Amino acid sequence: MSASTSPSFRPIRRVLVANRGEIAVRVMRTCQERGIETVAVFSDADRLAPHVLMADRAVHIGPPMARDSYLRIDKILEACAATGADAVHPGYGFLSENEDFVEACTERGITFIGPRPHAMRLMGSKTMARETVSRAGAPVVPGDNGPGGNGFPSVEAALAAAKKIGFPVLLKAAAGGGGKGMRLVQTEAELGPAFEGARREAGGAFGDDTVYIERAIIRPRHIEIQVFADAHGNVVHLGERDCSIQRRHQKVIEEAPSPVVSAELRARMGASAVAAARSVDYLGAGTVEFLLGADGEYYFLEMNTRLQVEHPVTELIYGLDLVAWQLDVAEGKPLPLTQAELDARRRGHAVECRVYAEDPVKFLPSPGRITHLRVPDGPYVRNDSGCYEGAEIPVHYDPMISKLVVWGEDRAAAVARMRRALDEYVVRGIETNLPFHRLCVRHPQFLEGHYDTGFIAREAASLTPSATGDALDAALIALALDTAAPSGRAAAKAGGAPAGSGANGSGNGNGAARPTIEPSAWRSGLRGWRT
Q: Which residues, 6+ apart, have CB-to-CB distance to 1 below 8 Å? A: 7, 231, 232, 233, 281
* DSSP state string for 373-409: EE---STTEEEEES--TT-EE-SSS--EEEEEEEEES
Residue after which a domain boundary falls, among 215, 236, 251 = 215
Cα–Cα–Cα angle for 328, 114, 238, rounded to 5 degrees? 70
Residues 458 and 527 in one domain: no
Task: Round to whole Å and give the CA distance between 514 and 163.
Answer: 63
Task: Round to whole Å and give the CA distance between 208 and 200.
Answer: 9
How many C-beta neighbours within 10 Å does residue 167 have? 14
Q: Which residues, 6+ apart, have CB-to-CB distance to 470 below 8 Å? A: none
Residue after which a domain boundary falls, among 215, 230, 265 = 215
Residue after which a domain boundary falls, among 215, 248, 277 = 215
Q: Which residues, 6+ apart, have CB-to-CB distance to 275 below 8 Å? A: 133, 136, 137, 138
Taking alpha carbons only, the member of 15, 99, 25 closest to residue 326 is: 15
Residues with pLDDT less than 50, the chain: 1-4, 486-531
CATH assignment of the domain containing 102: 3.40.50.20
109: helix, coil or strand?
Answer: coil
Q: Residue type at 470?
A: D
Q: Residue type at 63?
A: P
> pLDDT, tens digit, for every residue of 326-382?
999 999 999 999 999 999 999 999 999 999 999 988 889 999 999 999 999 999 999
Taking alpha carbons only, the member of 395, 358, 392 closest to residue 250 is: 358
Evaluate whether residue 513 is within a structural domain. Answer: yes
454: helix, coil or strand?
Answer: coil
**What is the pLDDT, as a whole number, of residue 237?**
98
Taking alpha carbons only, the member of 531, 449, 398 closest to residue 257 is: 449
**What is the pLDDT, as a whole number, of residue 127?**
85
Residues 516 and 531 in one domain: yes
* Residue 502 near residue 60, CB atoms below 8 Å: yes
> pLDDT, tens digit, for every residue of 225-261?
999 999 999 999 999 999 999 998 899 999 999 999 9
**What percentage of the chain carries pLDDT values higher than 70?**
86
306 is catalytic: yes
Taking alpha carbons only, the member of 80, 25, 16 closest to residue 49 is: 25
Read off φ and ψ for residue 368, nearest 5 degrees.
145, -170
Residues 14 and 78 in one domain: yes
Taking alpha carbons only, the member of 390, 514, 510, 528 closest to residue 58 is: 514
**What is the pLDDT, as a whole number, of residue 488?**
42
CATH assignment of the domain containing 156: 3.30.1490.20
Residues 460 and 512 in one domain: no
280: helix, coil or strand?
Answer: coil
Across the strands, what pairs with 170? 184, 214
**Mean pLDDT of all residues belonging to the chain:** 89
Residues 304 and 442 in one domain: yes
**What is the pLDDT, as a whole number, of residue 90?**
98
**What is the pLDDT, as a whole number, of residue 397?**
95
Task: Round to whole Å and give the CA distance between 181 and 127.
Answer: 14
Domain span including residue 167: 142-215
* Residue 506 near residue 512, CB atoms below 8 Å: no
Evaluate whether residue 129 is within a structural domain. Answer: no
Residues 376 and 242 in one domain: yes
Burial class (CB in 10 A: 0-12, 13-18, 19+), 455: buried
Cis peptide before 115 (omega within 30 of 0): no
List 20, 116, 306, 382, catalytic entry? 306
Task: Round to whole Å and give the CA distance between 268 and 298.
Answer: 10
Residues 203 and 302 in one domain: no
Total structural domains within the chain: 3
